[in-house]
A and B are shown apart, each in its own frame.
Chain A
Amino acid sequence: MKTALSFAMDFGSYAIKGGSKYYAWLLFLAFFILVGSYTAYQQLTEGLILTGATDQVTMESFFANFIFTAHIAAAAVLVVAPGYLYHRKDMKELAVLGEIVAMVFVATGITFILFHMGRPDRTWHMIPGIGFLNFPNSMLSFDTIVLNVYLFLNLFGVVYILYKKYNGTFHEKEMSRWFTAIVFLAIGWGPLIHIVTAFVLASNSRISPWDTAVLPFAFLTMAGASGPALIVLIFLLIRKTTKLVIGDPVIDLMTTIIAWSLGILMLVFAAEIFTVLYSGTEHAASMKFSMFGHNGLNMFVPWFWVIMGALVGSFAALLFRKVRHSYNLLLPLVCFVVFAAILLEKPMILVFPAFSPSPLGEYTEYHVTLVEFFNVLLVWALGFLFLTLILKGAIGILTGEVRHDKSSASSQVGA
């Protein structure tokens, strides 16, 4: 017990120590958390009427951002998988970082859903026993289960590995079979959260852009692009600012995954656009609205073309060896573009235009309100704050700077 306490203490105190740039970053996040607390309070007291959502476009930015966080969380297995499935030693040591990313962004996504709900105070209605979970009819009930299981799988994995390493009792060879099984389960579960999230959308046959079999594939490839893009950015930052060694081959593997994912994503988009536009049935109406607008309602049109251009452009850029190996300038830039493009794709292409035309033929634009915008930033800021602190502490343990003090060895008995 004492060891657990000293683990928490050492971890925490290392996590909040850093240079001036580190504190500036934390302060930057704190600003959005502060502003966001106020707007969140407003939304909780006055309701979702403060967002831009209407009965026509009923899903707001929170829902769109939730889908994106599921992308990143699912993609974090791409750090874990090479280590455990292909026994890449350099990746295996970094696996815990991937699990941290997964854990933090699943939690972020669940927070987005709480903002999305009209009655967050009634969340307990979903807990079987005291409430009622409409399983297996409702796709949302699947999603709830899958996300929470993924959260706790990763939480457990992260705490187990870090705690063992902190104690100095983590041995690669002797790693218990049950723990490896849990890691494998988490690897399988990553794509699952994604496929189920895609099914939550695809289950609504009246929204024709979502009512497509390519949706899970689009999601998986977008996850494969945006997740590793964020991880490359994080890894580049970590190896520049800390003592943790992350070799070029690790970055290169991630870059390869991004490039492949973008390539397949382009095929998925092309397949969908062709299938819908060639026959030009009523299912094409929404796609046409995205691409060309409708009777002067064309706010989504520039977003569509810019985001598509960014995705194709990033793919083309990653074909060049020079870009892939430009670790300090071009690669992070491309990764940032991929991350931002897929983040913005969610509200501006996937979610908002999908509601036009409505079942009664209405076309609706969507204007994000300030309250909504700052609430989105609040959730992201919270996510990145926890990500920063946990990663910092984890790096301390991985580099050996945070270790259990053996002089008080008696404390280990209780652990």
Chain B
Amino acid sequence: MSKEIIEELNEAKDVQQGRREFLKNVCVSSVAGLVATATPAEAVVDATNPDADVTVEEFFQGHFILMSDEEKKQAIARLEKRYSAKYGKKTTVSDVEAPDGVLFGYALDIGKCIGCRRCVHACVKENNQSRHDPEVQWIQVMKMPKGNISFSADQLDKGYPEKSEFGDYGVQVGGNAYKTAGFSTEDAQNYYQDDLVPEKDFFYMPVQCQQCEKPPCVKACPVRATFRDHAGVVLIDYNWCIGCRMCQLACPYQARHFNWGEPNLPAEEMNPKTHYFGNRPRMRGVMEKCTFCVQRTREGRDPACMEACPVGARKFGNLLDPDSDVRRVLATKRVFRFKEEAGTYPKFFYYIG
């Protein structure tokens, strides 16, 4: 990313600093009274739940993208105040725009990946996911058997049809017939608990949000809470999401994760540098997913998963810049997209280095 863009972004951030005087101190009890007139059933719930300290303004706020600049400032100030109080540390919520002339892309070398899941945990740490009951992980690593353990010579005569007029080699059932080999989700293990990785007969493939160019989740969302920004990243306004989970149904990558309960984020583990569409703490009943670390990448930094990778299997960059790592991978390696047949055109590419 060029220097000018970063400077521009920093300037934009400085403007942000002076926008805190719009705070309104509305205590939870008055919230209950006011909200109750609008939606009786749910308001009672919010008031009795100590975690749901959502102010009236936050309840009635519109879609962030459609807000005026003034409303955006107020929304950000509200959130910063609420988070700072809740987690006991100065929390910033950025709403920095994506830089122009950028299309973010990712490339991952499944030849190099050793399945250590450092990216998974770096992601959890960076993005303020729920830490327990359950721990929400935006990256899932599939462990898949290599072909050499799928087939064995001593199984050659196993299976049937064993005898037929045309020889014994008809349609095979059993034996080696039903063995998957190589790249297939069928025998993938997503919850392996190995002491040592990589295991000899397996290879690994991390899957996260593929930031599709034609995202089915964006199409499915009834309120446009999820949308694609001009840098090609699919984002969610957590305050606008109604929790209907149609996007989760539509996603062919199992990349979307729902907050079934109130997220458990211990204050000491909370990352206070957040972005409105990125890693700010979420609430119960909304969807979340990988944003290519929007809070980092919009400021010219690399995603946390990429920084954490010990073998350099992950490459991130601007797809419009011919000199970026990703473009170099696309130009020189044999690249494929996961589930090409889904017609989603991901900007997340896999290759075998």
Contacts and interface: CB of A to CB of B under 8 A. Distances in A.
Interface of A: 41, 44-51, 53-56, 58-59, 113, 116-126, 131-134, 137-141, 144, 200, 203-207, 282, 285, 357-362
A47 B248 CA distance: 17
Contacts of A118: 241-245, 258-260, 284-287
Interface string B131-151: 000000000101000000000
A119 B248 contact: no
B297 to A, nearest CB: 25
B129 to A, nearest CB: 12
Contacts, number: 159
Contacts of B188: 360-361
Contacts of B261: 46-50
A4 B188 CA distance: 66
B265 interface: no
Contacts of A120: 41-42
Interface of B: 39, 41-43, 45-46, 48-49, 59, 62-63, 66, 140, 142, 184-188, 190, 207, 216, 218-225, 240-246, 248-254, 256-262, 284-287, 339, 342-343
Given A121-B45, A132-B66, A132-B224, 11 more contacts: A47-B285, A48-B243, A55-B258, A117-B244, A117-B285, A132-B63, A133-B223, A205-B216, A205-B342, A358-B254, A359-B254
A234 B48 CA distance: 41
Given A132-B63, A360-B185, A362-B190, A207 B242 contact: no
A68 B246 CA distance: 18
Contacts of A144: 222
Given A45-B48, A357-B185, A59 B249 contact: yes
17 contacts: A48-B258, A53-B260, A55-B256, A55-B257, A116-B244, A117-B244, A118-B285, A138-B246, A144-B222, A203-B250, A205-B216, A206-B249, A206-B251, A360-B188, A361-B184, A361-B187, A362-B254
A274 B314 CA distance: 44
A282 to B, nearest CB: 8
Nearest to B218: A137
Contacts of B249: 58-59, 204, 206-207
A204 B186 CA distance: 20
Given A47-B284, A49-B260, A119 B243 contact: yes
Contact of B223 (A56, A116, A131, A282): A131
A55, A140, A200, A205 interface centre (most CB from chain B within 10 Å):
A55
Contacts of A49: 260-261
B262 A47 contact: yes
B206 to A, nearest CB: 11
B246 A121 contact: no
B202 to A, nearest CB: 14
A116 B42 CA distance: 14
B207 A360 contact: yes
B262 to A, nearest CB: 6
Q: Which 5 A-B pairs have the closest CB atoms?
A: A118-B243, A118-B285, A49-B261, A361-B185, A121-B42
Contact of A140 (B59, B63, B218, B220): B220
A119 B222 contact: no
